[in-house]
């Protein structure tokens, strides 16, 4: 990624952590699963090498998820099936598995606290909202922002200075690529998804309408301008639009509006207190790296063999940069 601007890498942490937890069967000498920790550090090392950021921000979902979104829709993210891992967990109860997952996650947080990585975990707030707020904060107005996540929710945040790096899909998306791939401009992606729905979050959309249908029947959404639900309704009301999809959209106007209010990130669901904490964290940022303590923690957990060469080099670069 060649660019003359300074670059901040913003990581959707749980999105990356859970990959390793599900697929990596590694255990430490005490028999504890440690795949989530191992894979997360490996991913951080790899993406740091590929993105070469001047600053690294890691954002976790806060405990309890988004209280505000649940208040909008009580079914939001309800009914999710229990997590299934791809390794032998026969000796562990579901509670053991949940406890181990939380332990691994909190240990990663503790590791990163020893480094010049900025971390956030706001109570009852999703990482999406914190990432949106950080992306638009004045500190990074002249920086290139690279959001690291497999989650398509972040496509709506893309602009001429913001990219989405999706490690699982091995792709980097910018605005032009999104328009080419989906036929929808990032400015209108939340609106399109509000029509299509999001089964992973238990948000049904307009019946038999997916993103492809939205792009085909509402082709103006690929334009570089903001469209709104009123524009969609206006299009459906045209006498020439007689297909069933237009009637279905008209009948689902309330559903689309509810989905949009939950999915949009242009106005992140953050309290003034959360915004102040984020601002103060950046204002007070003074990078340091306690290598001894981090290695001690990783040794205790049996993950010291993980390759951190690129990550540690970047730690030193960040410390040097901010001390100049």
Can you list the domains of the chain with their CATH numbers? 7-149+271-310 (3.40.50.1010), 182-263 (1.10.150.20)
Q: What is the chain's mean pLDDT, rounded?
A: 93
Torsion angle of the four alpha carbons 102, 37, 274, 263, in this order, in degrees rounded to the nearest 10: -90
Q: What is the distance in angstroms between the CA of the first residue and the CA of the last residue of the chain? A: 24
Answer whether residue 2 shows pLDDT above 80. no
Is the CA virtual torsion 306, 309, 310, 311 positive or negative? Answer: positive
Encode 156-177: b = buried (16+ Cβ within 10 Å), e = exposed: bbbeebbbbbbbeeeeebbbeb
Distance between CA 155 and CA 284 in Å, rounded?
30
pLDDT above 80: residue 90:
no
Residue 2 CB neighbour total at 10 angstroms: 4
Determine the Cα–Cα distance for residues 145 and 51; give it in Å rounded to an integer: 10
Per the model's pLDDT, the better-predicted residue between 70 and 262 turns out to be: 262
Residue 79: the pLDDT is 72
Find the mean pLDDT for residues 309-321. 95
Contact 48, 314 (CB under 8 A): yes
Q: Which of 208, 149, 152, 204 is nearest to 181 (CA)?
A: 152
* pLDDT at residue 67 in the model: 78
CB–CB of 189/199 below 8 Å?
no
Beta bridge partners of 7: 144
pLDDT at 223 over 80: yes
pTM recorded for the entire structure: 0.94
Residue 68 has pLDDT above 70, yes or no: yes
pLDDT at residue 324, rounded to an integer = 72
Percentage of the chain with pLDDT > 90? Answer: 83
**Residue of 35, 39, 60 lying closest to 118 (CA atoms):** 60
Checking if the pLDDT of 65 tops 90, the result is no
Residue 286 backbone dihedrals phi, psi, to 5 degrees: -135, 95
How much is the average pLDDT of 275-290?
A: 96
pLDDT tens-digit readout, 262-277: 999 999 999 999 999 9
What average pLDDT score do residues 78-93 get? Answer: 79
pLDDT (0 to 100) of residue 3: 56
Model confidence at 221: pLDDT above 60: yes
Q: Per-residue confidence at 307, pLDDT binned at 50, 70, 90?
A: confident
Average pLDDT over residues 213-227: 98
> What pLDDT does 80 receive?
74
């Amino acid at each position: 990624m060649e660019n003359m601007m300074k670059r901040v890498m913003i990581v959707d942490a749980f999105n990356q952590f859970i990959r390793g937890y599900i697929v990596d069967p590694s255990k430490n000498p005490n028999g504890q699963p440690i795949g989530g920790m191992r894979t997360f550090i490996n991913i951080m090392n790899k993406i740091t090498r590929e993105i070469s950021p001047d600053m690294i921000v890691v954002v976790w979902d806060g405990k309890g998820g988004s209280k505000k979104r649940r208040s909008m829709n009580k079914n939001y993210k309800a009914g999710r099936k229990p997590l299934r891992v791809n390794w032998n967990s026969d000796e562990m109860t579901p509670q053991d598995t949940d406890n181990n997952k939380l332990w691994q996650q909190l240990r990663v947080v503790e590791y990163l606290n020893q480094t010049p990585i900025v971390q956030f975990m706001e109570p009852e707030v999703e990482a999406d909202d914190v990432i949106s707020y950080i992306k638009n904060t004045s500190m990074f107005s002249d920086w290139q922002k690279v959001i690291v996540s497999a989650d398509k929710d972040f496509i709506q945040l893309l602009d001429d200075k913001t990219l989405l790096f999706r490690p699982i899909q091995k792709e980097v998306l910018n605005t032009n690529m999104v328009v080419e791939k989906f036929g929808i401009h990032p400015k209108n992606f939340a609106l399109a998804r509000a029509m299509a729905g999001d089964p992973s979050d238990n948000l049904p959309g307009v019946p038999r309408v997916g993103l492809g249908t939205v792009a085909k029947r509402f082709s103006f959404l690929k334009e570089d301008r903001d469209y709104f639900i009123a524009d969609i309704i206006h299009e459906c009301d045209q006498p020439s639009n007689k297909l069933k999809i237009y009637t279905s959209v008209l009948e689902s106007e309330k559903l689309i509006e509810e989905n949009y209010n939950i999915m949009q990130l242009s106005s992140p669901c953050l309290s003034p207190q959360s915004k102040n904490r984020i601002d103060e964290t950046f204002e007070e940022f003074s990078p340091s790296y306690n290598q001894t303590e981090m290695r001690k923690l990783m040794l205790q957990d049996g993950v010291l063999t993980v390759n951190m060469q690129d990550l540690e080099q970047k730690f030193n670069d960040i410390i040097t940069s901010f001390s100049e």
